[in-house]
Structure 1
């Protein structure tokens, strides 16, 4: 097995569809939501309060900024899917081109990277999540089976002086960082 997709155990009986390319020339495999998921708009509560205070020249506290930051956070939309690949490959996660235009949904980091050693990690079995922010003025409900993003398998190169990372992946999402 060189590269492909599988369903994680917790969604084994959920009838999920493995990612597929929509056309013969499509580079990306379309990922779908594993369950209904509501993404709240960033334009609410503490964030609006912060903007109002700034606009009116009022001072803000650290607590104000922390509260507004909680409103602006991205949400992890589950796919129920994991990806296996060769050691010198990664899966690039990208927004669907219609996401921002039609629904106001963006990946806040631009793209996501799924490393080969993420597959079957002990923390979450390598389940792929799409990190999304809703820039629209209303909450958006994503229905189970709705396409939320795409993944493209990519090779990568190493520098001449690369010694390789000495660490081992110990967890799931975001676990390879320091």
Structure 2
């Protein structure tokens, strides 16, 4: 029987003790996705948010340099997982936050959910490695340890419209881009 859907370890992390995502209970829909390495998710409050509030309260003007500095300090980070997902052409992997992330860790997926298309698998940019995009809204940095569960992946079939005209090009990019402009 041909492979239909699942996870594999990317070449970069071969022989580094990476575990493939698994469901924790019999009726769980999501496969827990872990961090491939120790990683720090900086607090958005350390620099950017406080600076922005200070300027707003003082009715200060922010030039482009200051805005760029603030944006860099509150931008999400991409935590590597060391795994990639394969699936059928009419399926998608939805990456959702674990429910404990905001409550216990102050971590959130700033994009709400991640959508991993079937053609992301083995793309030229990064071999299709899954990254978990996180932002930390707690007042101190959060330190992730290798093997910490960060998100859950749920495989879902999707439908297209009767008159669908999309999907005519091949993927050119990696994370965050279909490569189509």
Corresponding position of 1:117: 119
Give the TM-score normalised by structure 1: 0.97
Aligned residue for 1:40? 42
Give how far 1:60 is off: 1.9
Structure 2 residue corresponding to 1:61, chosen from 60, 63, 81? 63
SS at match of 2:169: coil
Native 8 Å contact 1:47 1:69 kept in 2: no
- Alignment of 1:108 with 2:110, yes or no, is yes
Q: Which moved more, 1:157-166 or 1:35-44?
A: 157-166
How many residue pairs match? The answer is 178
Per-residue CA deviation, residues 107-157 of structure 1 (Å, 9 max, x unaligned), is 001000000000011111000000000101000110000000000000000
CA distance in 2, matches of 1:9, 1:65: 38
1:145 is aligned to 147
TM-score by length of 2: 0.95
CA contact (8 A) 2:46 2:140 kept: no
What's 1:13 paired with? 15
- State the secondary structure of the residue aligned to 1:113: strand
Consecutive unaligned residues of structure 1, counting only runs of 5 or more, are: none
Distance 1:164 1:51 in 2: 43
Are the aligned partners of 1:50 and 1:64 in contact in 2 as well (CA < 8 Å)? no
CA distance in 2, matches of 1:147, 1:93: 12
